């Protein structure tokens, strides 16, 4: 009987995870099924769905909005990345225990360094926004060797507080935060971790923030050339990318954690990538 896995969120009908993991299972020769579960509009719904899935023999879950915090709280053990991010996006059921991980930042770094061929060692990185997506990305970016990371947010105090909280864990990377209006200098990599692109808007980042040859990366995917990416091109960014690679690569990390084999991501990337035009 195939092993059971799923993604849980609300809403969930839009999720590409069943497609991605289906492609992974086929490529890796794994006997498994993967479904989407709508956990409803509340933590109680998540708890019920989690219990039902485990009782039915489920082996692991991907977790998306709005349940990443609830997933971490439900776990008996969590990785440092999940604990410091304050959220989990993958669960594994080991006997009677629930283990939690957060692979979002790891997927982002792998997409940038492997798929986009942009080493982060010694780079200056600007991350726009101070929400959960940024929280999950900062330490993996620092571990990849970024020399400096600045978090910029409309509410300067929120960015500064997030940077101050995580700076002790960032190693040699200088991690700071503040408001958009206080941005100074140019950055090799500029990452939009806000939700602005979902509404057709762009965060107020100045053109001077993009260094010559910069990479502009929008975590939103499937929207084509978003206002942020268009503004980056106009400011002279040499390379633009959306978040489809991050989506696929974090899924591959979860798959490898569950199954013990890392899948080839090329088929999923080719299937989901849309032209940035």
Strand partners, 90: 62, 101
3-state secondary structure the chain: CCEEEEEEECCCCCCCHHHHHHHHHHHHCCCEEEEEEECCCCHHHHHHHHHHHHHCCEEEEEECCCCHHHHHHHCCEECHHHHHHCCCCEEEEECCEEEEECCHHHHHHHHHHHHCCCCCCCCEEEEECCCHHHHHHHHHHHHCCCCEEEEEECCHHHHHHHHHHHHHHCCCCEEEEEEHHHCCCCEEEEEECCCHHHHCCCCCCCHHHEEEEEEEEECCCCCCCCHHHHHHHHCCCCEEECCHHHHHHHHHHHHHHHHCCCCCCHHHHHHHCCCCC
16: annotated active-site residue: no
Active centre residues (catalytic): 68
């Amino acid at each position: 009987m195939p092993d059971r896995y799923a993604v849980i969120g609300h809403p969930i009908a839009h999720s590409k995870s069943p497609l991605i993991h289906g492609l992974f299972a086929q490529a890796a020769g794994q006997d498994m099924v993967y479904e989407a579960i709508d956990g409803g509009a509340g933590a109680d719904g998540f708890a019920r769905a989690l219990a039902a899935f485990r009782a039915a023999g489920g082996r692991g879950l991907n977790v998306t909005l709005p349940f990443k915090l609830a997933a971490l709280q439900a776990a008996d053990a969590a990785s440092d990345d999940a604990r410091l991010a304050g959220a989990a996006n993958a669960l594994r059921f080991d006997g009677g225990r629930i283990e939690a991980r957060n692979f979002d930042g790891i997927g982002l770094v792998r997409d940038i360094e492997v798929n986009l061929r942009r080493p982060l060692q010694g780079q200056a990185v600007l991350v726009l926004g101070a929400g959960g997506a940024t929280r999950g990305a900062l330490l993996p970016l620092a571990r990849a060797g970024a020399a400096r990371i600045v978090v910029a947010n409309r509410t300067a105090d929120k960015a500064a507080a997030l940077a101050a909280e995580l700076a002790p864990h960032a190693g040699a990377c200088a991690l700071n935060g503040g408001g958009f209006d206080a941005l100074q200098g140019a950055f090799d990599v500029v990452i939009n971790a806000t939700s602005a692109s979902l509404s057709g808007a762009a965060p107020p980042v100045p053109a001077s923030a993009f260094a010559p040859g910069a990479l502009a990366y929008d975590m939103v995917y499937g929207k084509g050339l978003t206002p942020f990416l268009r503004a980056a091109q106009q400011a002279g960014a040499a390379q633009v990318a959306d978040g489809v690679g991050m989506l696929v690569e974090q899924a591959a990390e979860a798959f490898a954690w569950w199954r013990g084999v890392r899948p080839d991501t090329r088929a999923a990337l080719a299937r989901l990538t849309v032209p940035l035009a």
